[in-house]
Structure 1
Amino acid sequence: MSITGAMNAAISGMRAAARGSEIVSNNISNALTPSYGKRGLELSALSYGATGGVRIDGITRHMNEGVAADRRLADAAQQNTQAAVSFFRQLEDIAGLAGDSSGLGGRLAAFEESLITAASRPDAVERLGNTVTNAQWLVDGIGNAARDIQEMRTRADTEIAQDVQTLNTALQQVEQLNAQINTTRSRNGDSPALLDQRQAVLDTIGAIVPINVVPRDNGTVAIYSEGGAVLLDITAAEIGFEQQNIVTEFQTVDAGTLSGLTLNGQDVRTSALGGGRLGGNFAVRDTYSVQAQAQLDALARDLVERFADPAVDPTRGAGDPGLFTDAGAAFDPLNEVGLSTRLSLNAAVDPEVGGEVTRLRDGLGAVVAGPAGDATLLNSLRTALDTARAPASGGFGTGARSAADLFSSFSSALATTRSNAEQDLSFSSARLTELTGLQMSEGVDTDQELQNLLLIERAYAANARVIQAADAMLETLTRL
């Protein structure tokens, strides 16, 4: 090899060492960067005749796609269960835990206790007034819980709209990145930064919808949902959704009053895009909230029908509402949906609308005041609460229950459902943490990178020494 060839070979070695040090520094600085794939320098021997050296073939991005795919699915599952847990926790805060004095069960117990107190002194108007106050407090608790459920449905609808917008934007970004990666690869270029960027966008999509990413030519990918929907194959799909400003208890997807999803203008099953945060919000809006609302309506119906029995208060006329009413009127079993928000106290006993608290003692339909010491009607009202009767709706089963037992069943079922959802969340969170740690462990190893840096430093110094020696030889020749 000539002196010039030796110098060229050494220069190529220094160039490779410099590029290697750049890659090592990038790897170390991005060791904790999500979606970053470790870089590696690809080298090969360069030989043309008597001239040698090293050639930089490119930069390779190292990423375990199998682990990345599993982590995305775990993230989707965690997001899905988190939506359920958040809903049930909020609902439990609204309805109150068992034994919570301000919860629905506690309000019913306060109303029953005030009836007992009033029956012991039916002539004490202040005790009758306290009973009316507690009855109104119970009505307010049920109504507020129902309205809060509809607010959670509205919030879920809003979050669905936001997720759909994010999903459409992310799919378009992947389409554009695919095109850029394809162009770069066609020109024999490297695209690790583009791959990192696409990985981050895929992670965003994977949190909303569980996806399968399928490799295509020249580094491009296609995206399919776990439910079988084609989200991207050359071109990005367009997901459609119509947001509602307010969601009421009467609105459902089946009735056509709430929006489902469309894929490129065609209706698509929600389950086709379920399993992630999007599916979790749909479950909150269309399943969990609807079931909770139905159970609250069943509790309200049970209260209304208990006190609408003619045997409880014989002073009422036929068809007149009892102590609890449907917006002031008698309850129609065919109009149960939304009863919990319409539940109201009979105006005859409500002083705020001109009623008399003494009608609790004398009867809702009494035209004259009865004996002040007669507790017959008050005892009948209490008996109505304690009477075991089978709930007509709400999915509570066919067993006969008192009002307190029915309210307790609602709270217990809610606590059990919330506990089960938290167990699912604990499992999915642990799985996500484990897979995230596994992905990080297969990423940048800073110890290994520092060792590589020492090797690069030695190689650089050795190549520099070759150049120094060649320079000394040339200087000797020039002195001849």
Structure 2
Amino acid sequence: MSISMTLANALSGLTATGRMAQTVASNIANANTDGYGRREVALSSQVIGKGGAGVQVDGVTRIVDRGILADRRLADAERGAQQAGAEALERVEQLVGAPGDASSIAGRIAALEQALATASADPASTLRLNAVSDRLGEVASTLNRASDGLAEMRARADDDIAAQVTTLNEALARVEVLNDDIARARYTGLDESGLKDQRQVVIDKIAGIVPIRLLSRDNGSVAVISQAGQVLLDDRAAQIGFSPVGLVTADMSLAGGTLSGLSINGKPVASADGVGKLVGGALGASFQLRDETLPGVQAQLDEVAQDLILRLSDPAADPTIPAGGAGLLTDNGSPLDPLDVTGLSGRIAVNAAVDRTAGGDVTLLRDGLNAAAAGPVGEARQIDAWIGALAAKRTPPAGGLAASAAGLATRVSTSTGSARVDAEEQLGFATARWETMREAELISGVDSDREMQMLLRIEQAYAANARVMTAADSMIRQLMEI
């Protein structure tokens, strides 16, 4: 081997080790950077003619475990969905109240029964009759607040859907641009690793909204497809559409056409749930909350309100109330309409005739709601009838096991509490899976200790190549001195 070839070999070694040092430094600097894929320099023997001519740098390879990354993204979507559900059900439980809570709906009904019992012991006491009127108002207002809270939560879910769709469209458009940039970089021989880092971060945003899988293309671009099979991006990004309504009321529904579902490239999704093949993840969870979970709780509250109105307007409890007439509790001042019970818990109100805050006469609680004349002040028969009406076990309006008024309300608290506990358990499982996948992803990423060891080996290789060049230079000087 000639001295000049020796110098060329050593120089190629210095070039390669310098590039490797640069890559290791980049790895260490980005050890905590989201989306960064560990780099390795690809080397091969350089051949000139039929002989070796040192080492050549073939390029920089971005190291990513695609299987772990795909699993972590699915875990992202599942955790996002479970977190949305758990947080919403926690808020629902606060609105309805936990079993045994004095401020719960069941607790308010129990307080009403206690006030009636106290009034029955001294029916001549206006103070005690006032307390009954107040407790009736608390029952109605607690149901009103719970219904209003559910409507606000549905409106918030509708807003969340709109925000998620906006983020999804922006992210898909960004991936489309990055796909083109990566394909161009690959065609021109430029390093595409940085662009792939950016693309990974953007795709992670998509994965938090909709569970997805990727299909790699030969030019370095990727197609994005939902786990259920909807193409979101393949060369060009799909356009997801949604029309938020702002204000959501109890009677509004997707099936009734008053709430929006998704559209893809201008075409409504072909499914009753409005989300179609974008189901799963935070987006699917928002639809489920808006259209299923929260309306389900609303229906339970409306049933409690209907049951209370029926009990306290039954002529069997108060003979002065005509059949179909308004009782102690009303539908916003009117008798109950059995065909219009949706949202009833938000409209239930105390009959103005006995509402002392509206100038009502509380003695009618003792004498009969529509009594023509005042009865004996010591007569507790009508008050006892109200107590019996609330305590009687009746079949709920929607069917099921018979229960007292407080018992039916307790069922709502129990079911919402149970749903919240189940949701928290599912969130715990989803979080544990995400943490496992995230840890596996980090293990396959940049290991600072490993990179430092690599840097020491690079330093040794660089010193060795520099030593070869020094020796070759010495030989050349000796030749020049002859």
Shorter-chain TM-score: what band? over 0.9
**Whole-Å separation in 1 of the counterparts to 2:93 and 2:288:** 17
2:145 is aligned to 144
Contact 2:314 2:321 in 1 (8 A): no
Q: In 2, distance between residues paired with 1:184 and 1:30?
A: 22
The runs of at least 4 aligned residues of structure 1 exceeding 6 Å deviation read none
Distance 2:48 2:321 in 1: 110
Corresponding residue for residue 356 of structure 2: 351
Q: Is residue 28–residue 444 contact of structure 1 (8 Å, CA) maintained in 2?
A: yes
Q: Is the 8 A contact 2:47 2:54 kept in 1?
A: yes
Offset of residue 185 of structure 1: 1.1
Percent identity of the aligned residues?
45
2:13, 2:55 within 8 Å by CA — same for their partners in 1? Answer: yes
Q: Distance in 1 between matches of 2:218 and 2:404?
A: 68
TM-score (norm 1): 0.97
Shift of 1:353: 1.7
| Residue identity matched to 2:444 | E
Q: Is the 8 A contact 2:324 2:336 kept in 1?
A: no
- What letter corresponds to residue 89 of structure 1 in structure 2? E
Q: C-alpha displacement at 1:52, in angstroms?
A: 1.4
Task: Tell me how far apart the structure 2 counterparts of residues 447 and 79 of structure 1 sit (CA, whole Å).
Answer: 33
- Read off the aligned partner of 2:207 and give its amino acid letter: G
Matched with 2:380 is 375
Q: For residues 53 and 347 of structure 1, what CA distance do their matches in structure 2 show?
A: 98
Is residue 249–residue 338 contact of structure 1 (8 Å, CA) maintained in 2?
yes
Deviation for aligned residue 1:186:
1.4
Counterpart in the other structure of 2:479: 477
Q: Deviations over 1:118-156 (max 9, x none)?
A: 100001110110111111011000000000000000000
Conserved 8 A contact 2:16-2:55: yes
Aligned equivalent of 1:305: 310
Provide the alpha-carbon RMSD of the alignment: 1.2
Indicate how the Cα distance of structure 1 residues 51 and 315 shifts in structure 2: closer, same or farther if over 3 A, else same: closer
1:436 aligned residue (418, 438, 442): 438
State how far apart, in whole Å, the 2-side matches of 1:214 and 1:43 are. 28
Deviation at 1:56, TM superposition (A): 0.7
Paired residues of 1:317 and 1:365 also in contact (CA < 8 A): no
Distance 1:53 1:76 in 2: 49
Contact conserved, 1:85 with 1:421, CA < 8 A, in 2?
yes
User: C-alpha displacement at 1:8, in angstroms?
Assistant: 2.2
Residue 167 (structure 1) aligns with: 168
Q: Does 1:89 align with 2:94?
A: no
Give the equivalent residue in structure 1 for 2:111: 110
Q: Tell whether the 8 Å contact from 1:230 to 1:237 is kept in structure 2 after alignment.
A: yes
Distance 1:475 1:319 in 2: 118
| Whole-angstrom CA distance in 2 between matches of 1:187 and 1:318 | 86
SS in 2 for 1:47: strand
- 1:295-444 equivalent positions in 2, closer than 5 A: 295-393=300-398, 397-444=399-446
| TM superposition shift of 1:189 | 2.7
- The one-letter amino acid of 1:211's match is I
Does the CA contact (< 8 Å) of 1:238 and 1:263 recur in 2? Answer: yes
Q: Letter of the 1:277 partner, please give it.
A: A
Deviation at 1:368, TM superposition (A): 2.0
The answer to which of 122-131 and 46-55 deviates more is 46-55
Q: CA offsets per residue over residues 411-430 of structure 1, 9 Å max, x none?
A: 11111111111111111111
Tell me what 1:258 maps to: 259
2:131 is matched with: 130
Q: Cα offset for 1:92?
A: 0.3
Partner Cα separation in structure 1 for residue 84 and residue 397 of structure 2: 30
Letter in 2 for 1:430: A
Q: How far is 1:78 from its partner?
A: 0.8
Match of 2:217 in 1: 216
Tell me the CA shift for residue 53 of structure 1. Answer: 1.8
The residue type paired with residue 16 of structure 1 is A
Measure the CA separation in 2 of the matches of 1:108 and 1:336: 20
Tell me which residue corresponds to 1:241. Answer: 242
Letter of the structure 2 residue corresponding to residue 328 of structure 1: G
Question: What's the counterpart of residue 198 of structure 2?
Answer: 197
Q: How many residues align?
A: 477
Contact 1:75 1:206 in 2 (8 A): yes
Residue 315 of structure 1: CA displacement? 1.9
- 1:385-428 C-alpha deviation (Å, 9 max, x unpaired): 011111112xxx52111111101111111111111111111111
Preserved CA contact (<8 Å) 1:114 1:131: yes
Does the CA contact (< 8 Å) of 1:5 and 1:51 recur in 2? Answer: no
Partners of 2:207 and 2:315 lie apart in 1 by: 59
The C-alpha deviation readout for 1:293-321, integer Å capped at 9, x for no partner, is 11110000000000111011112244420
Deviation at 1:369, TM superposition (A): 1.6
Does the 8 A contact of 2:314 with 2:323 survive in 1? Answer: no
Give, in whole Å, the separation in 1 of the partners of 2:362 and 2:52: 109
Per the TM alignment, residue 473 of structure 1 is displaced from its structure 2 partner at its CA by 2.0
The secondary structure found in structure 2 opposite 1:303 is helix
Deviations 1:232-265 (A, max 9, x none): 1110000000011111111111011000000000
Amino acid at match of 1:378: I
> What corresponds to 2:20 in structure 1?
20
Give the residue type in structure 2 aligned to 1:148. G
Q: Is the 8 A contact 2:27 2:446 kept in 1?
A: yes
**What one-letter code is carried by the residue in structure 2 that aligns with 1:324?**
L
2:396 & 2:339 partners in 1: Cα distance? 15
Deviations 1:63-82 (A, max 9, x none): 11111111111110111111
Matched, 1:271 2:286: no
AA partner of residue 314 (structure 1): P
Q: Name the aligned partner's letter for residue 451 of structure 2.
A: E
- Deviation of 1:31 after TM superposition, in Å, equals 2.0
Match of 1:4 in 2: 4
* Aligned twin of 1:290: 295
Q: Deviations over 1:159-197 (max 9, x none)?
A: 100000000011111111111111111123321111111
Which deviates more, 381-390 or 100-109?
100-109
**Residue type matched to 2:413 in 1?**
S
Structure 2 unaligned residues grouped into runs of 5+: none
Other structure's SS at 1:349 match:
coil
* Whole-Å separation in 1 of the counterparts to 2:144 and 2:131: 20
Q: CA deviation at 1:226?
A: 1.3
Counterpart residue identity of residue 421, structure 2:
S
1:303 is matched by which residue type in structure 2? L
Deviation at 1:32, TM superposition (A): 2.5
Distance 1:318 1:408, change over 3 A: closer
1:52 partner SS: strand
1:2 Cα deviation after fit: 2.6
For 2:287 and 2:29, how far apart are their aligned partners in 1?
A: 40
Cα distance in 1, alignment partners of residues 105 and 316 from structure 2: 26
Q: Give the 3-state SS of the residue equivalent to 1:404 in structure 2.
A: helix
User: How many angstroms does 1:7 deviate by?
Assistant: 1.9
**Deviation of 1:51 (Å):** 6.6
